[in-house]
Amino acid sequence: MKNEKHLIALDLDGTLLTDNKEISPRTKQIVQAAIEAGHIVIIATGRPHRASITYYHNLGLDTPMVNFNGALIHHPTDKKWDVLHNPMPIRTAKKIVDACYQLDVNNVLAEVMDDVYLDRYDEKIIDIFDSAQADTPFIIGDLRNKLDEDPTSILIHPKEDHIHALRSHLNDYHADLIEHRKWGAPWNIIEIVKKGMHKAVGLKKIAHYFNIPQERIIAFGDEDNDLEMIDYAGVGVAMANGIDELKSIANHVTQTNEADGVGTFLESYLKLKVKSV
């Protein structure tokens, strides 16, 4: 069974990538060996297209990609592939922005595919994005006026003591319309997408496209935006550096992102023969 074709879904931050936001040479070698052995490798990330395409090309992928935690499912190198883009309604987005003003958050940002709208000029937010996503173009100004189309996602940078109040507000007033997740430390960003959007949505669509059964889907993750994907995959793998909730539902726990956890698991599970780098 392990010699049959598998679909391998890779989260980026805290999973495939080291803490320096790089793919280690060892893990890259093993992922490429899996591809050469006939397995299908995809990226499934909360990041937008612009912030993940470099890693896609670095691995030499020619497969669909899941961005914005499932709100965008597309194929970067095949324009005929059926794109699924599920933004949230702008009315919902504007209500959330209003709530952010009432709760006096540090900042709020909206993404429409690869366009980024930032409510207030903010070096900290810009540094976060420039460290993770080079050359991000920002449209800066009050989102209540600037944002004029359905956003793919909204990112909120709350004050430290407002995180609980903000998430409670989102649950109390918008739970039927949106999904919200918290980025891992040190950023504490709250990310919001349309209700029903998560990485497993993309995984199901891509697995169906390639005719891969659920038991031959291997998915790796570390944070709460990976929960549905790890739960859905026949072989759900949590990173050792991942959150406890994810580890509790995963089929396996591998080594950390700093210790080639993705590569180590794939080499063993798929019985790949890989020379040492």
| Percent of the residues in the chain that have a pLDDT greater than 90, as a whole number | 72
pLDDT tens per residue, range 194-209: 999 999 999 999 999 9
Question: How much is the pLDDT for 24?
Answer: 97
187 pLDDT above the threshold of 90: no
Confidence of residue 235 (pLDDT cuts 50, 70, 90): very high
Among 62, 67, 64, 109, smallest CA distance to 85 is for 67
pLDDT tens per residue, range 210-226: 999 999 999 999 998 99
Instruction: Tokens for 197, please give them.
Output: 């959007």
Q: Residues 6 or more apart from 60 whose CB is under 8 A from it?
A: 32, 35
Contact assessment for residue 235 and residue 264, using Cβ atoms and an 8 Å cutoff: no
For residues 24-43, give the mean pLDDT.
97
11 is catalytic: yes
| 123 CB-contact burial (10 Å; exposed 0-12 / middle 13-18 / buried 19+) | exposed
Among 8, 3, 51, smallest CA distance to 27 is for 8
Instruction: Tokens for 73, please give them.
Output: 């499912």
Question: How much is the pLDDT for 42?
Answer: 98
Q: Residues 6 or more apart from 61 whose CB is under 8 A from it?
A: 35, 41, 42, 43
Domains of the chain: 7-85+197-269 (3.40.50.1000), 90-194 (3.30.1240.10)
269 pLDDT above the threshold of 70: yes
Average pLDDT, the chain: 91
- 174-188, 195-209, 229-243: least confident range: 174-188
* Beta strands at 217-221 and 235-239: parallel, antiparallel or unpaired: parallel
Instruction: Tokens for 47, please give them.
Output: 């990041």
* Set 11, 13, 222, 226: catalytic member: 11
Q: What is the pTM of this model?
A: 0.91
pLDDT tens per residue, range 115-157: 899 999 988 777 776 655 556 678 999 999 999 999 999 999 8
For residues 43-55, give the mean pLDDT.
92
